[in-house]
Structure 1
Amino acid sequence: MLSRRRVLALLAALPLARAQGRAEEVVGGLEAPWALAFLPDGGFLVSERPGRIRLFRGGRLTPYAELPVYARGESGLLGLALHPRFPEAPYVYAYRTVEEGGLRNQVVRLRHEGSRGVLERVILDGIPARPHGLHSGGRIAFGPDGMLYVTTGEVYERALAQDLASLGGKILRLTPEGAPAPGNPFLGQRGARPEIYSYGHRNPQGLAWHPETGELFASEHGPSGEQGFGHDEVNLILPGENYGWPQVVGRGGDPRFQDPLYFWPEGFPPGNLAFWRGALYVAGLRGEALLRLVLEGGKGRWRVARVERVLEGFGRLREVRVGPEGALYVTTSNRDGRGRVRPGDDRVLRLL
């Protein structure tokens, strides 16, 4: 495995520009924040992997909900999303790992009650999890079609990514009530889970839709020793397509599989990704930087023309999301057991 110093040196060799803006701290003192969800009143929710959702409103951070979770490795309380008709439909969705009744990941729904959330029900259960807590996926987001997309990992059991009878190593597509979404590519196929939208994923960590074309992009972690190292990816996600893991690492040129739009041969494990000001931004965990990917082409024929480093010096970065006022928000992840903790960690930053 490459050292952190070697990874950063390789990143420095890319055609990277230095910071184009400045970041200011919005709130600090968090513990392994994983996802943000912006409320229409100007506040936001932030999930912390040990099981807390906290509300930041009017300059104050207060408890919102605490959920039982199995917080080990990369598992615990992970993604957050608001119902697309929030607050008329007052629901907050979360992805978590639970142990009671058998270890697994699930998507749950909370009812928003002003300053707190109350767990209402589980909308999807039985997503694979393992005691080591690795490769749980965990990103959830509503797409422009009003459906809920869910990324799941293959929990270091590589064959699950190609197994259409398993929810592991997939991107799923659900209705807001948790049913398989209409039009899913494997609906009615014998032996296949109808929730599956795409498969052949190792550990997808981010979701973002192009603001003009509506195309879905996803970030994904490449191997960390089991089949080499590196080859972290950004993919353009097409319904029903196979993204190759574990048969292919990086670009294989095999017509049976979708090659990544972009990948880092020597490794840049990504967190979330977001479109902002005409480019695709990717948060870096081990790479400890926010990257700007400048895309050229058009629908179905994109390529990455240039990569720029726009933010560094804050350690591991996981969440990146556009706020309602148009600023870009980023979270650090230095208290997740893999980073160097800095005073004030972990924090939410705003890029101006």
Structure 2
Amino acid sequence: MVSRRRVLLGLLGLSLVRAQGIRVEEVVGGLEVPWALAFLPDGSFLVSERPGRILWVQGGRASLYAELPVYHRGESGLLGLALHPQFPREPYLYAYRTVEEGGLRNQVVRLRHQGNRGVLDRVVLDGIPARSHGLHSGGRLAFGPDGMLYVTTGEVYERELAQDLSSLGGKVLRITPEGKPAPGNPFLNRSGARPEIYSYGHRNPQGLAWHPRTGELFASEHGPSGEQGFGYDEVNLIVPGGNYGWPRVVGRGDDPRYRDPLHFWPEGFPPGNLAFWRRDLYVAGLRGQALLRLVLDGDKGHWRVARVETALSGFGRLREVQVGPDGALYVTTSNRDGRGQVRPNDDKVLRLR
């Protein structure tokens, strides 16, 4: 159990907790299903709320930055955020959302930063599968070290979409900031394949992180929840053109046609995002309600998980984890998403030092 010592300093004040040598501060509370963070150069940050709002948090206080129409049901709505890597010279924020007008689908949109507001600029990528149940929409956005935008998409509970190269569902996509297929993508010249695809065979990938030294891409992914057993949530090392097996393989298949996960939880640990911090890989847990530290051993292309430790618990469901410009680790709770126990002042953004 995590020892807890709270000092509440007003509605949006600080809450101090010590957990296994980590100091935890509550930066802001009273949020509604926060999904992703995007840090501005001055250390303030934007946070998406799944019902369709983006808030700007400065000095522990949140103000409305943008509000977008979304289809908010199940796991869908306003999800990932990513700031252009050349911001503010390129004054753009990217967002992943589910929309209903003109046909239900997921899309990546771009907002222009104007003073203290974000204004919808254009649709960058459209036609990502979505379904009325709102499940398995993927939704993570992140710019890689190559300056390209990576997008995770789910297979919307239609399992074969993950293996279908003509569909954007069940994939990790790689596009330019303008929404074009990125140069060097593995299926650029394959007839019938979507050129935006970077990897495939994914059920519902939820997180992206690059190794700070080798530049390799790691992703977190939800395993089955009844359609092919339960559990087997994964962390994968993503390679261009890799097939990660869903729905042909659950967990480790030892089949050369498919990429085995770097690590998986047979009993289940549905992940949110993941991030490298102080040489280790941290994975946020939703149903697992903990932040795990994965200690890696090896080197480029040959990693193994040496051990797994609980770094933080006691805050309920955790979704976002990201390193801020101050070197601290930021984590969001997701207790108001209909699947958690709501705690006082939920949902929250926490800062770990």
Q: Deviations over 1:35-75 (max 9, x none)?
A: 00000122100000000000011332100000000010000
Conservation of the 8 A alpha-carbon contact between 2:43 and 2:324: no
Deviations 1:78-133 (A, max 9, x none): 00000010010000000000000000000000000121100000000000000000
Question: What is aligned with 1:330?
Answer: 331
Shift of residue 240, structure 1, vs aligned partner = 0.3
1:239 matched residue in structure 2: 240
After the TM superposition, which residues 256-267 of structure 1 pair with which residues of structure 2 at under 5 Å, given as runs? Answer: 256-267=257-268
Query: Is 1:209 matched with 2:210?
Result: yes
Q: How does 1:308-327 map to 2 (within 5 A)?
A: 308-327=309-328
Q: Which moved more, 1:31-40 or 1:57-66?
A: 57-66
Query: What's the counterpart of residue 299 of structure 1?
Result: 300
Q: Does 1:343 align with 2:344?
A: yes
Q: Distance in 1 between matches of 2:116 and 2:229?
A: 47
SS of 2:162's equivalent? Answer: helix
Residue number in structure 2 paired with 1:268: 269
Specify which structure has the bigger relative contact order, considering alpha-carbon pairs within 8 angstroms and separated by 6 or more residues: 1
The separation in 2 between residues aligned to 1:286 and 1:20, in whole angstroms, is 24
Alpha-carbon distance in 2 for matches of 1:334, 1:173: 31
Matched, 1:250 2:229: no
Instruction: Among all aligned residue pairs of Structure 1 and Structure 2, give the percentage whose two residues are the same amino acid.
Output: 83
Question: What residue identity is the alignment partner of 2:125?
Answer: L
TM-score in terms of structure 2 length: 0.94
What is the CA-CA distance between 1:317 and the residue it aligns to? 0.1
CA RMSD across the alignment: 0.6
- 2:9 matched to which residue of 1? none
1:156 corresponds to which residue?
157
Moved >2 Å (runs of 4+): none
CA distance in 1, matches of 2:267, 2:88: 44
Stretches of structure 2 that go unaligned for 5 or more consecutive residues are 1-18
Which amino acid in the other structure matches residue 339 of structure 2? R
What's the secondary structure of 1:29's corresponding residue? Answer: coil
Distance 1:236 1:188 in 2: 24
Look up the match of 1:284.
285
Q: Distance in 2 between matches of 1:65 and 1:203?
A: 27
In structure 2, C-alpha distance between the alignment counterparts of 1:347 and 1:72, rounded to whole Å: 21
Asked if the contact 2:200/2:241 (under 8 Å) is kept, the reply is yes
2:74 is aligned to: 73
**CA distance in structure 2 between the aligned counterparts of 1:203 and 1:211, rounded to whole angstroms:** 24
Question: Structure 1 residue 22 and structure 2 residue 23: aligned?
Answer: yes
Task: After TM superposition, list the pairs within 5 Å mapping 1:65-214 onto structure 2.
Answer: 65-214=66-215
- Tell me the equivalent position of 1:227: 228
The one-letter code matched in structure 2 to 1:289 is: A
In the alignment, which residue of structure 2 is the partner of 1:3? none
Report SS of the residue matched to 1:302: strand
Aligned length: 335
Partner of 1:10: none
Matched with 2:7 is none
Structure 1 partner of 2:12: none
TM-score by length of 1: 0.95
Deviations 1:299-326 (A, max 9, x none): 0000000101010000000000000010
Q: Deviations over 1:217-257 (max 9, x none)?
A: 00000000000000000000000010000000000000000
| Within-5 A mapping of 1:46-61 | 46-61=47-62
**Cα distance in 2, alignment partners of residues 59 and 108 from structure 1:** 27
SS in 2 for 1:168: coil
